[in-house]
Amino acid sequence: MATKRTPTLEVKGLKKSFLVGEENIPVLKGVDLEVGFGEFVVILGPSGCGKSTLLNTILGLEQPSEGQILVRGKDVYTMDEDGRAHFRRQKFGVVYQQPNWVKSLNVIENVAFPLNVAGIAHQEAIRRAKNILYLFKFEKFEKYYPMELSGGQQQKLSMCRALVTNPWIVMADEPTGNLDTVSSEDLMYDLKVLNVESKRTVVMVTHNPEYERYATKLIYMEDGLIKNIKQKSKPDFSLAEEESVIDLAEGEGIAK
């Protein structure tokens, strides 16, 4: 018997406007979206269409003017700022266009940082970060400082950092924006492997139409609204499979 599962992510009637001077500028004008477990969502659209605002709102960083964000049924904005911070570090991994680092920490300490934020013992955090670095073949750089690495390496590293907490959803905001073609393809491949092999939900914002091919769900945005949703294939996982990933979230390293 098929069970109706709770969507991993639901956006309901989302509106967001910014006050610029005395003018209220609407950026999101009513976005509805549903992301299922293990989907690879690519949000496409021209600059200024509201992609990044949508992403930041989902992450709990930008209070919406109207509407709801539900992550596995949990309404993100019923929590206060610290509550959302707490929620974010457990459920989301984030990769930005520009890698941002805690500059006084080296590679391994930066990757371990989200675990330290979560209050996990430092030794344990380092051990888990080591596992991730090993998977991405980065172990030889662990004592370097992130700023000493190339742009492509830094982006991969920020993916390691996004994954170290075993999040439900990996959010990527133009992750290849600053990279050359080879590094970009490399990073996209890693994201795809992550999505397929560890069945992790990925939501990526880009304006590069080339990346359409990685998506299982394509969303075209224009002027603060979703113009078109293209569902390429509908993965159908059993609940047991989903549980296995949730278990991993409390376990260690990344699922393989």
Partner 1 sequence: MKYRYIIKLAFKNLQRYKLRTFLTAGGVAISIGFITFLTALGYGLQKVSTDQIANMEALQILDIDAGKSKIVTVNEETVRNISNIFGVEKVYPMISVAGNLSMQGSKIDSIVYGKTQDILSIEKPKIITGKTFSSDNAEEILVNVAAVKKLGVADYSDLIGRNLEVSMILRPEFLGSEDNVSKKETASYKVVGILEEGNAPYVYIPLDNFQKLGVKSYSGAKVKTTSRENVDKIRVLIEHMGFKVSSIKDTVDQVNQFFSVFRAVLTGFGVIAVVVSCIGMFNTLTISLIEKTREIGIMKSLGTTKKDIRRIFISEALIIGIFGGITGIVVSMLLGGLLNTSVYALAKQTGNVSVKIFVFPPELIVVAIVLSALISFLTGAYPSRRASRISALNALRYE
Q: Return residues touching partner 1 (CB under 8 A).
A: 56, 59, 61-62, 81-82, 85-90, 94, 96, 100-105, 113-114, 116-119, 121-122, 161
SS3 7: coil
Minimum CB–partner distance for residue 109 and partner 1 (Å): 8
Nearer to partner 1, 105 or 248 (CB): 105
Q: How far apart are CA 121 and CA 2, in angstroms?
A: 41
| Closest approach of partner 1 to the CB of residue 172, in Å | 13
The CB-of-157 to partner 1 minimum distance in angstroms stands at: 13
225: its two tokens: 């609204």
Nearer to partner 1, 109 or 190 (CB): 109
3 state SS of 3:
coil
Amino acid at 69: I
Could you tell me the sign of the dihedral formed by the alpha carbons of 77, 81, 85, 87, in that order?
Answer: negative
Closer residue to partner 1, CB minimum distance, 3 or 123? 123
Please say which residue, 25 or 102, places its beta carbon nearer to partner 1: 102
Number of Cβ within 10 Å of residue 1's Cβ equals 2
The three-point CA angle 74-79-81 to 5° equals: 135
Distance of closest approach, residue 117 Cβ to partner 1, in angstroms? 5
